């Protein structure tokens, strides 16, 4: 086991807290730092160069030994040139899981930047899969606000999933780490369609890439939860979306670009 490992987990919002929770269950003795970079321009609104620069700057400033990018938009600009530490993103492990699933006709739902990047669809299509994509905003905003059900969410899901349903896909890729919070709602709208959640594959990929093992330590490792946004709002969102009670600290980090 890499006993000195201090693993960072990065997302713009609170979607990656599910990734953090799964990592901590598997590696309870490791130190973790989570950053919600919600004070910065939403990652989906940055061009590739600006997003890569932001990810590189944030990871370097966190002073961690390894970093998990629990954000599909940020993962779409990996690999970084001259990364400050070993980095694993969610897309490559997720594509591998989707291919191993054996499903031939796949739906992919994600944010506008993730979908436009074709980071999911291009490798899946190159492997002979049929792919139907749909931009799934504002689902992450619903989840950040703790709206895991209700008429507004259901109406947005019906609209977003209409082209997926019409294509009669075999499986749906959840290409945003927020979306497992509403997996039940996806299943209701797409009965009989398998859901592909890449987060466990991301944990496996991090374990392999970083040389971590599954043995738990005698003590629970340290945890820092940071945000460049509002700590109270981040803590409220974590509780509503994931039922996590966290102490969240404001972090200034690298300078923020003007919104």
Strand ranges across the sheet with 171-175: 130-135, 105-110, 171-175, 194-196
At residue 253's C-alpha, the angle toward residues 256 and 77, to 5°, is 65
For helices 199-210 and 17-26, angle between their N-to-C axes, nearest 10 degrees: 50
Helix (H) or strand (E) holding 232: helix 231-242
Provide the Cα torsion 165, 203, 120, 15; round to 10°: 60
Spatial neighbors of 166 by CB under 8 A, at least 6 apart, are: none
Is residue 176 annotated as part of the catalytic site, yes or no? yes
Is residue 71 annotated as part of the catalytic site, yes or no? yes
The one catalytic residue among 108, 176, 205, 235: 176
| DSSP assigned state of 125 | H
The one catalytic residue among 30, 55, 71, 235: 71
Q: CA-CA distances (angstroms) from residue 66 to 12, 77, 90?
A: 18, 17, 14
Three-class SS state of 51: helix
Active site residues: 71, 176
């Amino acid at each position: 086991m890499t006993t000195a490992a201090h693993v960072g987990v990065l997302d713009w919002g609170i979607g990656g807290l599910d990734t953090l929770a799964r990592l901590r269950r598997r590696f309870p003795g490791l130190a973790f730092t989570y950053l919600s970079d919600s004070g910065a321009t939403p990652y989906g609104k940055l061009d590739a160069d600006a997003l890569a620069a932001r990810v590189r700057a944030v990871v370097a400033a966190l002073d961690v030994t390894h970093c998990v990018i629990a954000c599909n938009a940020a993962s779409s600009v990996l690999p970084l040139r001259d990364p400050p530490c070993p980095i694993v993103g969610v897309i490559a492990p997720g594509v591998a899981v989707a291919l191993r699933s054996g499903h031939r006709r796949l739906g992919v739902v994600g944010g506008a930047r993730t979908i436009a990047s074709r980071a999911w669809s291009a490798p899946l299509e190159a492997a002979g899969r049929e792919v139907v994509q749909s931009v799934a905003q504002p689902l992450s905003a619903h989840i950040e606000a703790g709206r895991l059900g209700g008429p507004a969410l259901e109406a947005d899901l019906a609209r977003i999933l209409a082209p997926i349903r019409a294509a009669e896909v075999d499986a749906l890729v959840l290409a945003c780490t927020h979306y497992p919070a509403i997996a039940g709602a996806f299943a209701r709208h797409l009965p009989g369609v398998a859901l592909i959640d890449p987060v466990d594959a991301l944990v496996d990929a991090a374990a392999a890439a970083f040389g971590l093992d599954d043995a738990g330590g005698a003590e629970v490792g340290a945890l820092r939860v940071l945000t460049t946004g509002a700590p109270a709002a981040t803590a409220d969102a974590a509780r509503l979306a994931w039922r996590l009670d966290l102490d969240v600290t404001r972090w200034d980090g690298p300078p923020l670009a003007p919104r």
